[in-house]
Amino acid sequence: MNTLLYVVTEDWYFWSHRIDLACAARAAGYRVLLAARFGAHRARIEARGIECIDLPFERSLRHPLRDLRLLFALHRLIGRERPALVHLVALKPILLSALAVCLRRTPRYVHALTGMGYLFSSRDGLAQGIQRLVRPVLRFLLSRPHAHAIVQNDDDLALLGALGVVRSQASLIRGAGVDLARYVPQPPAANDAPVVVLPARMLRDKGVAEFLAAAPLVHAVHPAARLVLAGGIDADNPAAYARDELLAAAQAAGVEWWGHREDMREVYAAASLVCLPSYREGLPKALLEAAACARPLVAADVPGCRDICRAEVSGVLVPARVVPALAAAINGLLSDPARRARLADGARRLVEREFSSARVHADTLALYARLLAPAGA
């Protein structure tokens, strides 16, 4: 039995984005391990037959001494468990695999780039400085002969080419996918007032500030409209809002903040449209789920978002960080129920064609098999 080791920073992310894939791998005959920082989701994950190993990750790159200890810990873990395949998800685990990738040639390494994150979307000087240091390390790791990269959108596939990664060592697999049996088309929301939902962690690079700034412009045209933020505070992320800051800003803008929600199907059922004016994504799970529920989308025209929010197919694209354009797109859809219905139908059809979890799992398991096949097989 081949051992498959997933490495992610947080257990909640694994539960939200990778648990179904891990279960599919177990069903295919793999022994599945997860190395992560664990919190409330460990028992849930272990109940699915996944073996959990603590690694005290921090998601930022601002504590190099702690990261150095983690680099050695991950190297030792791989040596102890001897996995056939190591699947590293997101930038931080990929960078911390450096020692193992250099010194341990037995496992194959799958580097899953999930959107490049804060470093590649922030205008902060420190973040941009770190990005300049990270790029050559990333280029080196992804070009090792026993490494393979997964990206979620066409823009990131092009970025790998710019980093010097050969096409045979990269695959485009469309995100985590969405369970089409769980997220099903919902009838149009029977609300007295239209509801516009931004579902995301409360981060500046998710476009929360632009959404708040657009709210008065929407209310000027649609005074009864309810604009809603649905997501929790992510204190470990350098782009996070403080709770009191967000509460004050939402109140001033006339926006509701529903906090973290486990019942996202009910959130989408209440929505007239779903909005994500993010600065950059891999492939946003929230938009996939909303599209599967047949909700029209408004999103920034940036990597990841434009893969699922396609102009006049599933939604409306607007320039990132441009508040008037965001407000105009929301107002236009709220004023046109027939257009909303057409885009809602297009959103569901698009997910069915390209973004089902069944397709993503099959593509990923096929990649695992190909990487583990004997040379020449």
pLDDT in tens, 340-367: 999 999 999 999 999 999 999 999 999 9
Q: What value does the mean pLDDT take over residues 200-215?
A: 97
Domains 3-177+356-372 and 195-354 share a fold: yes
Q: Where are the alpha helices (DSSP H) in the chain?
A: 11-17, 19-27, 42-47, 64-81, 91-96, 98-103, 117-121, 125-142, 154-162, 208-221, 243-253, 264-270, 285-292, 305-308, 323-334, 337-354, 357-372
Give the distance from CA 221 to its chain's centroid: 33
pLDDT, position 141: 92
Distance CA 330, CA 334 (A): 6
Neighbours of 41 (CB within 10 A): 18
In terms of pLDDT, which residue wins out, 181 or 114?
Answer: 181
Distance CA 76, CA 71 (A): 9
Helices (H) and strands (E) in the chain, counts: 17, 13
What are the pLDDT digits (tens) for 13-23? 999 999 999 99
Q: Where are the domains of the chain?
A: 3-177+356-372, 195-354
Closest to 51 measured CA to CA, from 10, 81, 88? 81
Would you say 218 and 327 are in contact if contact means Cβ atoms under 8 Å apart? yes
Q: Cα torsion at 137, 139, 142, 145 (round to 10°)?
A: -100
Neighbours of 66 (CB within 10 A): 13
The DSSP annotation for 66-84 comes to: HHHHHHHHHHHHHHHH--S
pLDDT, position 188: 84
What are the pLDDT digits (tens) for 136-167? 888 899 999 999 999 999 999 998 888 889 99
In terms of pLDDT, which residue wins out, 58 or 350?
Answer: 350
> Percent of the chain having pLDDT more than 70?
93
Which letter, b or e, does each residue of 293-320 get, where b requires 16 or more Cβ atoms within 10 Å of its Cβ? bbbbbbbbbbbbbbbbbbeeebbbbbeb
For domain 3-177+356-372, give the CATH number: 3.40.50.2000
Judged on CB neighbours under 10 Å (0-12, 13-18, 19+), 270 is middle
- What mean pLDDT, rounded, does the chain reach? 92
Distance CA 114, CA 33 (A): 20
- Residue 334 makes CB contacts below 8 A (sequence gap 6+) with 194, 196, 218, 221, 222, 225, 272, 273
Q: Which amino acid is at 327?
A: A
Closest to 366 measured CA to CA, from 171, 112, 161, 146? 171
pLDDT band, residue 376 (cuts 50/70/90): low
pLDDT band, residue 120 (cuts 50/70/90): low
The DSSP bridge partners found for residue 112 are: 89, 150
Distance CA 131, CA 122 (A): 10
Distance CA 178, CA 27 (A): 19
End-to-end CA distance of the chain: 19
The DSSP bridge partners found for residue 31 are: 3
What are the pLDDT digits (tens) for 311-331? 999 999 999 999 999 999 999
The DSSP bridge partners found for residue 198 are: 229
Q: Residue 88: which H helix or E strand, with range?
A: strand 85-89
What are the pLDDT digits (tens) for 222-245? 999 999 999 999 988 888 999 999
Q: What value does the mean pLDDT take over residues 202-231?
A: 97
Q: Give the phi and the psi of residue 370 in degrees, each rounded to 5.
A: -65, -40
pLDDT, position 186: 87
User: Per the structure block, which two tokens stand in for 280?
Assistant: 């950059």
Pick the CATH number of 195-354 from 3.90.320.10, 3.90.1150.10, 3.40.50.2000, 1.10.3720.10: 3.40.50.2000
Instruction: Please calculate the CA angle 264-43-180 and round it to the nearest 5 degrees.
Output: 35
